[in-house]
């Protein structure tokens, strides 16, 4: 069994305001992709759109 560790990022103040401004108007999927890129949690390959069912 492999242990999985994760890091939690908390945005506050101006950093939070900048982030909220960047995701304003984005859909849920696109906002999630942006969060993954900004936090460095964009490594697992499942963030790509499959194109199925869309």
Cβ distance 42 to 36 under 8 Å?
Answer: yes
Q: pLDDT-based confidence at 33, cuts 50/70/90?
A: confident
- Rounded Cα distance, 42 and 32, in Å: 10
Phi-psi domain of 43 (left: phi exceeds 0; alpha: psi -120 through 50; beta: other): alpha
Q: Per residue in 5-24, pLDDT tens?
A: 667 778 889 988 998 999 99
Q: Which pLDDT score is estimated for 52?
A: 55
- Its pTM stands at 0.55
């Amino acid at each position: 069994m492999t242990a999985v560790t994760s890091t939690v990022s908390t945005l506050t103040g101006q950093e939070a305001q900048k982030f909220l401004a960047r995701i304003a108007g984005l859909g849920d999927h696109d906002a999630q992709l942006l969060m993954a890129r900004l936090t460095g949690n964009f490594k697992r390959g499942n963030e790509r759109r499959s194109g199925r069912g869309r």
